[in-house]
Structure 1
Amino acid sequence: MKTIVLAFFASASLTAWGQSYKVAGTVLDAKSKVPVEFATLWIEGSGIGTMTDSQGKFVIQHLAEGKHEVLVRCLGYSEYKLQLDVRKDKENIVVYLSEQTLALNEVTVTAERKTADATTAYTLGRTALDHLQSVSVSDALSLLPGEQTSKFKGLTSSAQVITLRGESTEMGNPDFGTVVEMDGVRLSGNATAASTSGTDTRNIGNSNVERIEVITGVPSVEYGDLTNGVVKIVTRKGKSPLIVDVAVRPTTQSYAVSKGVELGAKAGVLNLSYERVRSVSDIASPYTSYVRNAFGVRYSNSLHTKTGKTLSVDFSLNGNVGGNNTKADPDAFKETYTKSRDNALWSSLSFNYMLNSPWLSNLRGGVTFSYADNRVEEKKNQSASSVQPALHTTEEGYFVASKYEKDPSSPIILLPTGYWYVTSFNDSRPINYTAYLKARWSHKIGSITSNLLAGADMKGEGNLGKGTYYEDMSVAPTWRAYRYDELPFMHNLAAYAEEEITLPFRHSQLLLKGGLRSDMTFIPGTVYGTVSSLSPRFSAKYSFGEKEHGFFRGATLRAGWGKAMKLPSFEMLYPRETYVDRLAFAPGAMADGTTYYAYHTHPVLPVYNPELQWQYSLMREAGMDIRLKGVRISLSFFYNTLSQPYTSTRIYTPFDYKLTDQSALNDCLIPSADRVYSIDRTTGVVTVSDKNGILTSQTLAYKEIHDFQSAVMNVNGSSSSRMGLEWVLDFDRIKAINTSIRIDGKYYRYKGIDEVMVPSTSSLTDTDGQPYKYIGYYVGGNGNYNGFMTQRLNTNLTLVTHVPKIRMIFSLRFEGTLLNTRQNLSEYSGGTRSYVLDSQSDYLPSSTQTDIYNGASYVATYPLYYVSREDMETRIPFMEKFLWAAEHDKELYNELSKLVVKSTTGYMFRKQGYSPYFSANLNVSKEIGKYLTVSFFANNFFYSMQKIKNWQTGNEGSLFASSLVTPFNYGISFKLKL
């Protein structure tokens, strides 16, 4: 922190050579010539900006000499880029903004790359979102290069998470490392105690979104706690008419209303919105549903001084009340249901002081708050013909089951017989809050432009949920409480600084950007203590050959490298205490018809790993943007390495308990009708007493059982790599038919091998009836494969026909997957992990075949070494001992064979892939007059039933009802502006 502050003031002490000037003017409506209030003007690539006042006037002081591009934005208007060549004061600039309609000559319905950034970033505007008719934010990301239409028809199937440059099934949870924020608020954090997953976007109101900004490349150092990019959702802000949206598709209906109200002179603007969406899984049985009641309140105001300084204040409150519900389904078992809350509240209060002074361009600060209520309520029917025990004890010892009516606090209860219902709850309520302050200083030293960013932020995260609990403890199954609200909060303090320098040359320009982020994580009361990390990031952009005419009209080369760290989830930080429950005595039915059960419970304390390191990603990117006559080409190559991913292993330790089986009763002299059983809580010795007191009590014989206990320990896994090439070719509009052509695509390759040593044992017993006594240690787990490699090649062709005179836009998008493969891998850097078998019944490796990837052989996976219960410290090489035992010790060979994991098919390691497949989407938008817009879409409107071949199995299948392409879906929407 000290270093960053010193660097900031050291830079500020430099003399900023070069002239600066005043720029002032007015922003007017292009049609009515009425002043436009609350329009923002921002100098691209700097921290300099302002807002217009009630007269539409603006002032920017101390603007450096030279050429600048000013981005002018206002709600309801099309963006305008003002080109300024500042050589003296300019005080009479007039900017005309055109209302955002389909009557404009230029309308964008695709992802637009932010060419001012050195990294790869895109903007998805409101026009594109309306034309696409997305239901959730994740739908909109299908417009990115090489992405394809969401496979979800509605919102009921599962969580819809966003993963940038990755897939959710890969090592390291890339969806968990993708940041999603709305109006500066991080929508989800790390306090999910039950899973490590990404942000579910179903609860985000879609109709109130003004634009979505996506950073897929190396982000600025102001963004932390990530590994895979940033998605920034910006809601409507500013004066707007009353907008009513109605959208209907077979499984989903949406109704929304929004309004931007001007509160009066200098009182600001209040934006209000409400959206209700109901989505069902099946129109034939529309009872399993997801409901979204999204709301938004946003207040904004700006104060202007005569010297050109502007203070803008912004308060936003967004949220949702809704979730999944199957309670009304008459096809389900009577009175059974599942209800999942998806309630959320996101709020922020921020200010932006745009000084535009020689020593400070702007100062931003604010606080954010996020809260979610994700309680799941489930009611199930249960039945049993005999009494069964349910264990709730949390202490070490031997316990006897009893009926709940007799002893409600019994550590083991006897469940009823017949039919009954069980209602369970899983209560998770993550919460996080942030405070931040950052400053920008844009200045010139000679011809060199410098933009310095420095800031700090502090955030805290926790969970207020109760965890899992039951409505009626008399029927609660085996379960132990694990309360999320008792877990310590996690706090993170970050400081960062970033310098961006622009060097102009005669016919070119070089932009260099470098920054450093320092994070310190505090987890008091745990073994983790304080963890610090550094994240350096660099990017560069070189532009040359810019001109308006000729075949070659300019090019930009860009590159970036950066490190990004991801904090662990609570699931990783706080492993749960587990319990080993073993039956100790069960004499069978008693004479009075009751049942007697005694169990031994052995609590296994959670294993915290003080050596756990924070997961991080190394991001590398190189790109090229070329402008030729008639076409604009954009290429982006990336190679990202995810290191120290969060994963888990197990730790086994021996433990013993006493088992008294029914054979011990054979020598008991007390008649069964008069027997009273008791078990010593500490020793586990069973005593039989005569209820009549005639015969002497008798101690039953027992046998010592030698078993294992296991506990989960969270560790860092092996690195994985992701590389790809994204391309976009935007052809100029063919004026004769008002049609533009866009070709985009992506090649993506992932490879991950897990080499974490994972112990495992067999559920079979030894020849003496004891639990299996060996523990095998497998590289990457006890599955046949410990990694996989995928390759995917997507390409899309989009035809957009826009006829401004009739206010209509028509787009046809062809989506093709030319390559889609997955190869299961079994690899180990220290040797061989899996071996070919001559036949499925064999356990020894083949002496003639060694290639497990030939696709026609069964495969066996062996542990690297094993240990015995008698000696847990001596690690015996498995392969060597197994081959020796096959020749010299058949009993040992048979026992070790239980640790051999054999593949269930002969093609497990054959490459899985499909022949190329395609689908097509149709979208039409039409403005009827000034107030009404009608849009229609049909996804996969060919209803493709193309036959494709699976390379792994050799079988052919149809794309009909396949998960490979989006299902046939259609809908219509109406937007009314009043």
Structure 2
Amino acid sequence: MKTIVLAFFASASLTAWGQSYKVAGTVLDAKSKVPVEFATLWIEGSGIGTMTDSQGKFVIQHLAEGKHEVLVRCLGYSEYKLQLDVRKDKENIVVYLSEQTLALNEVTVTAERKTADATTAYTLGRTALDHLQSVSVSDALSLLPGEQTSKFKGLTSSAQVITLRGESTEMGNPDFGTVVEMDGVRLSGNATAASTSGTDTRNIGNSNVERIEVITGVPSVEYGDLTNGVVKIVTRKGKSPLIVDVAVRPTTQSYAVSKGVELGAKAGVLNLSYERVRSVSDIASPYTSYVRNAFGVRYSNSLHTKTGKTLSVDFSLNGNVGGNNTKADPDAFKETYTKSRDNALWSSLSFNYMLNSPWLSNLRGGVTFSYADNRVEEKKNQSASSVQPALHTIEEGYFVASKYEEDPSSPIILLPTGYWYVTSFNDSRPINYTAYLKARWSHKIGGVTSNLLAGADMKGEGNLGKGTYYEDMSVAPTWREYRYDELPFMHNLAAYAEEEITLPFRHSQLLLKGGLRSDMTFIPGTVYGTVSSLSPRVSAKYSFGEKEHGFFRGATLRAGWGKAVKLPSFEMLYPRETYVDRLAFAPGAMADGTTYYAYHTHPVLPVYNPELQWQYSLMREAGMDIRLKGVRISLSFFYNTLSQPYTSTRIYTPFDYKLTDQSALNDCLIPSADRVYSIDRTTGVVTVSDKNGILTSQTLAYKEIHDFQSAVMNVNGSSSSRMGLEWVLDFDRIKAINTSIRIDGKYYRYKGIDEVMVPSTSSLTDTDGQPYKYIGYYVGGNGNYNGFMTQRLNTNLTLVTHVPKIRMIFSLRFEGTLLNTRQNLSEYSGGTRSYVLDSQSDYLPSSTQTDIYNGASYVATYPLYYVSREDMETRIPFMEKFLWAAEHDKELYNELSKLVVKSTTGYMFRKQGYSPYFSANLNVSKEIGKYLTVSFFANNFFYSMQKIKNWQTGNEGSLFASSLVTPFNYGISFKLKL
């Protein structure tokens, strides 16, 4: 932190050569010519900007000499890019903003690439969101190159998470590493109950979103705690009419209202919004539903000085009350239900002091707060014909079950017989907060433009939930308490600096950007202590050949490299204490009809791994943007490596306990009707007493059981790679038919191999009746495959017809998947992991076949080595010993065979894929007058029943009701502006 601050002020002490000038003007409504207040003006690629006052006036001081592109934005208006060539003071600039309607000549309903950035980034505007009629923020990302329409018809099926340049099934949890923020607030952190999953976007109000900015390439160093990109959601800010939205589709209905109220002279603007969405899983039985009651409050104001300085203040409060509910389903068992809360509250308070001075362009700061209530309540029916125990023991020893009404504090409860209900709760309430401060200094030294960013942020994360608990402990099943609110908070302090330099040449321009982020993570009271990490990132952009006419009209080459570190989740940091429960004595039904159970409980302390390293991603990207006559081409190649991913293994250690079985009662002289049993809590010895006191108490014989206990230890896994090529071809509009054509697509390849050593044993017993005594250590787990490779090639064709005169836009999008493959892999860098079998009944590898990928053989996977309970330190090579035992020791061979994992099919390692398949979507938007907009969509409107072939099995299937394409879905929406 100290180094970064010193570097910042050392740079600031340099003499800034070159002239700077004043730029001033007015922003007016293009139609009414009235001043536009709260319009923002930003110099692209710099930290210089300002806002208009109540008279629509703006002033930018100390703007360097040269050409600049100014981005002008205001709620309800179309963006405008002003080209300035500053050679002297300019004080009478007039900018006209046009109201955002379909009557404009240029309307964008696709993802628009941010060409000013050296990295790959896109903007999804409000017009595109309205035309798409998305019900969830994640729906909108289908507009990105090569992405396809969401497979969800509604909101009830599952969490809708966003994964950039990755799939949620891959190693390293790429969705967990994708940042989603709204108005600067991180929507999800590392302290949720499902700690390694991505951000569920169903609870985000969709109608109040003004735009979505997506960074898929190498982000700025101001973004930390990520591995897979950034999604920035920006809500409405500014004066706006009363907007009423109504959207209807077969399974989902949405109603929303919003208004931007001007509070008076210099009092600012207050934006209010409310949205209610109800989505059901099946219109034939609409009882499983998801409800969203999203609300938003945003206050913004700006103070202006005569010298051109502007201070803007922004406060936002967004949230949701809702969740899943199956309580009303008459098809479910009577009185059973599942209710999942999805309540959230996100708030931020920020300021932006736009000084535009020679030594500081702007200073930003603020605080954010995020809280979620994700309690799940479930009521299930249970039944039993005989009494069963429920264990709640948390101490070492032997314990006897008793009825709850006799001893409510008993560590083992006897559950009732017959029918009853169990109501359980899982209470997770993650919370996180952030404070940040950052400064930008944009200046010019000679002909070189410098844009320096320096900042710091501090955040804390925790969970206030109670974990899992039960309404009625008399019927609670086997369970132990694990409270989230007792886990220590995690804090992170970060400092960063980034320099962006623009070098102009005669007919070209070079932009160089480099930065460094330093994170210090504090986890008090744990073995981790304080952990530091560095994230360097660099990018470059070279533009040349820019001109307005001719076939070749300019090109931009860009490249980037960066490291991004993902902080661990609470699931990784705080492993749970586990318990090994073993039956110690059960004499059967008693003479009075009661049941006696005694169990041995062995607590296994959580295993913390002080060697756990923070997961990180190395991002590499190269791209090209070309402007030709009639077409704009954008290509982006990426190769990302995810290293040290969070994963887990197990640790086995021997432990013994005493078991007294019913055969020990054969020599008991006390009549069964007079027997009273007791078990020593420490030794486990069972004593039978005569309730009449006539016969002497008798100690029962027992046998020592030699078993294993296991504990989960979180570790770092093996690296995986993600590679892809994205392309966009935007053709100029065909004026005769008012139609533009876009072709976009993506080739994506993933490969991941897990080489973490994972121990496992067999549930079978030894010949002497003891638990199995060997532990096998498998490379990447005890499955037949320890990784997989996927390839996917998507291409989309979009036809957009826009007729401004009738205020109508029509789009037809064809989505095609030309390649979709997955191949299971069994690999080990140190040798062979799996072997071909001559037949399914064999255990020894084939002597004639070695290729497990021939697609027609059963495969066996062997542990790399094994250990015995008698000697846990000596690691015996499995294959060598197994082959020897097959010839010399049949008993050992039979025992070791229990560690062999055989495939269930002969085609497990054959490449799985499908022949090409397609679907088509139709979207229409029509403005009726000034106040009403009607939109209609039909996804997969061909209702494709195309036959496709599965390469792995050779079977042919239909796309009807397939998860490969979006299901047929349609809807209509109405937007009323008053």
Structure-2-length-normalised TM-score: 1.00
Separation (CA, whole Å) in 2 of partners of 1:912 and 1:10 = 58
Deviations 1:247-285 (A, max 9, x none): 000000000000000000000000000000000000000
Percent identity at matched positions?
99
> What SS is found at the alignment partner of 1:886?
helix
Task: Work out whether residues 20 and 63 of structure 1, in 8 Å CA contact, stay in contact via their aligned partners in 2.
Answer: yes
Deviations 1:582-613 (A, max 9, x none): 00000000010000000000000000000000
Question: How far apart are residue 794 of structure 1 and its match?
Answer: 0.1
> What SS is found at the alignment partner of 1:6?
helix
Question: How far apart are residue 452 of structure 1 and its match?
Answer: 0.1
Question: How far apart are residue 961 of structure 1 and its match?
Answer: 0.1
Separation (CA, whole Å) in 1 of partners of 2:801 and 2:591 = 85
Deviations 1:653-681 (A, max 9, x none): 00000000000000000000000000000
Separation (CA, whole Å) in 1 of partners of 2:673 and 2:796 = 80
Deviations 1:466-504 (A, max 9, x none): 000000000000000000000000000000000000000
Separation (CA, whole Å) in 2 of partners of 1:847 and 1:631 = 59
Task: Work out whether residues 103 and 804 of structure 1, in 8 Å CA contact, stay in contact via their aligned partners in 2.
Answer: yes
Separation (CA, whole Å) in 2 of partners of 1:590 and 1:643 = 59
Deviations 1:379-422 (A, max 9, x none): 00000000000000100000000000000000000000000000
Question: How far apart are residue 772 of structure 1 and its match?
Answer: 0.1
Separation (CA, whole Å) in 2 of partners of 1:632 and 1:93 = 31
Deviations 1:875-906 (A, max 9, x none): 00000000000000000000000000000000
Structure 1 consecutive aligned stretches of length 4 or more whose deviation exceeds 2 Å: none
Deviations 1:175-213 (A, max 9, x none): 000000000000000002443100000000000000000
Deviations 1:83-138 (A, max 9, x none): 00000000000000000000000000000000000000000000000000000000
Separation (CA, whole Å) in 1 of partners of 2:677 and 2:344 = 54
Counterpart for residue 260 of structure 1: 260
Question: How far apart are residue 921 of structure 1 and its match?
Answer: 0.1
Task: Work out whether residues 193 and 569 of structure 1, in 8 Å CA contact, stay in contact via their aligned partners in 2.
Answer: no
Separation (CA, whole Å) in 2 of partners of 1:964 and 1:101 = 36
Deviations 1:911-932 (A, max 9, x none): 0000000000000000000000
Task: Work out whether residues 242 and 259 of structure 1, in 8 Å CA contact, stay in contact via their aligned partners in 2.
Answer: yes
> What SS is found at the alignment partner of 1:560?
strand
Separation (CA, whole Å) in 1 of partners of 2:480 and 2:70 = 60
Deviations 1:56-90 (A, max 9, x none): 00000000000000000000000000000000000
Separation (CA, whole Å) in 1 of partners of 2:530 and 2:198 = 25
Separation (CA, whole Å) in 1 of partners of 2:838 and 2:782 = 21
Question: How far apart are residue 299 of structure 1 and its match?
Answer: 0.0
Between the two proteins, the alignment pairs up a number of residues equal to 978
Deviations 1:508-566 (A, max 9, x none): 00000000000000000000000000000000000000000000000000000000000
Separation (CA, whole Å) in 1 of partners of 2:861 and 2:513 = 49
Task: Work out whether residues 722 and 750 of structure 1, in 8 Å CA contact, stay in contact via their aligned partners in 2.
Answer: yes
Question: How far apart are residue 780 of structure 1 and its match?
Answer: 0.0
Task: Work out whether residues 389 and 415 of structure 1, in 8 Å CA contact, stay in contact via their aligned partners in 2.
Answer: yes
Deviations 1:417-463 (A, max 9, x none): 00000000000000000000000000000000000000000000000
Taking the TM superposition and a 5 Å limit, the aligned residue runs for 1:374-413 are 374-413=374-413
> What SS is found at the alignment partner of 1:898?
helix
1:160 equivalenced with 2:175 (yes/no): no
Separation (CA, whole Å) in 2 of partners of 1:886 and 1:2 = 66
1:345 equivalenced with 2:362 (yes/no): no
Deviations 1:289-333 (A, max 9, x none): 000000000000000000000000000000000000000001100
Task: Work out whether residues 778 and 862 of structure 1, in 8 Å CA contact, stay in contact via their aligned partners in 2.
Answer: yes
Question: How far apart are residue 2 of structure 1 and its match?
Answer: 1.1
- In structure 1, stretches of 5+ residues that fail to align are none
Task: Work out whether residues 659 and 705 of structure 1, in 8 Å CA contact, stay in contact via their aligned partners in 2.
Answer: yes
Question: How far apart are residue 762 of structure 1 and its match?
Answer: 0.1
> What SS is found at the alignment partner of 1:863?
coil
Task: Work out whether residues 133 and 973 of structure 1, in 8 Å CA contact, stay in contact via their aligned partners in 2.
Answer: yes
Task: Work out whether residues 762 and 772 of structure 1, in 8 Å CA contact, stay in contact via their aligned partners in 2.
Answer: yes
Separation (CA, whole Å) in 1 of partners of 2:3 and 2:848 = 64
Deviations 1:324-376 (A, max 9, x none): 00000011000000000000000000000000000000000000000000000
> What SS is found at the alignment partner of 2:899?
coil
> What SS is found at the alignment partner of 2:542?
strand
Question: How far apart are residue 841 of structure 1 and its match?
Answer: 0.2
Counterpart for residue 305 of structure 2: 305
Task: Work out whether residues 351 and 364 of structure 1, in 8 Å CA contact, stay in contact via their aligned partners in 2.
Answer: yes
1:425 equivalenced with 2:425 (yes/no): yes
> What SS is found at the alignment partner of 1:881?
helix
Task: Work out whether residues 245 and 976 of structure 1, in 8 Å CA contact, stay in contact via their aligned partners in 2.
Answer: yes
> What SS is found at the alignment partner of 1:883?
helix
> What SS is found at the alignment partner of 2:410?
coil
Separation (CA, whole Å) in 1 of partners of 2:854 and 2:708 = 38
Task: Work out whether residues 209 and 233 of structure 1, in 8 Å CA contact, stay in contact via their aligned partners in 2.
Answer: yes
Separation (CA, whole Å) in 2 of partners of 1:962 and 1:801 = 30
Counterpart for residue 126 of structure 2: 126
Question: How far apart are residue 149 of structure 1 and its match?
Answer: 0.1
Separation (CA, whole Å) in 2 of partners of 1:961 and 1:940 = 11
Taking the TM superposition and a 5 Å limit, the aligned residue runs for 1:511-910 are 511-910=511-910
Separation (CA, whole Å) in 1 of partners of 2:600 and 2:189 = 39
Separation (CA, whole Å) in 2 of partners of 1:617 and 1:7 = 27
Separation (CA, whole Å) in 1 of partners of 2:564 and 2:186 = 16
Separation (CA, whole Å) in 2 of partners of 1:735 and 1:386 = 80
> What SS is found at the alignment partner of 1:164?
coil
Task: Work out whether residues 185 and 368 of structure 1, in 8 Å CA contact, stay in contact via their aligned partners in 2.
Answer: yes
Question: How far apart are residue 223 of structure 1 and its match?
Answer: 0.1
Question: How far apart are residue 760 of structure 1 and its match?
Answer: 0.1
> What SS is found at the alignment partner of 1:491?
strand
- In structure 2, stretches of 5+ residues that fail to align are none
Separation (CA, whole Å) in 1 of partners of 2:976 and 2:606 = 58
Task: Work out whether residues 722 and 751 of structure 1, in 8 Å CA contact, stay in contact via their aligned partners in 2.
Answer: yes
> What SS is found at the alignment partner of 1:943?
coil
Task: Work out whether residues 911 and 952 of structure 1, in 8 Å CA contact, stay in contact via their aligned partners in 2.
Answer: yes
Question: How far apart are residue 38 of structure 1 and its match?
Answer: 0.1
> What SS is found at the alignment partner of 1:530?
strand
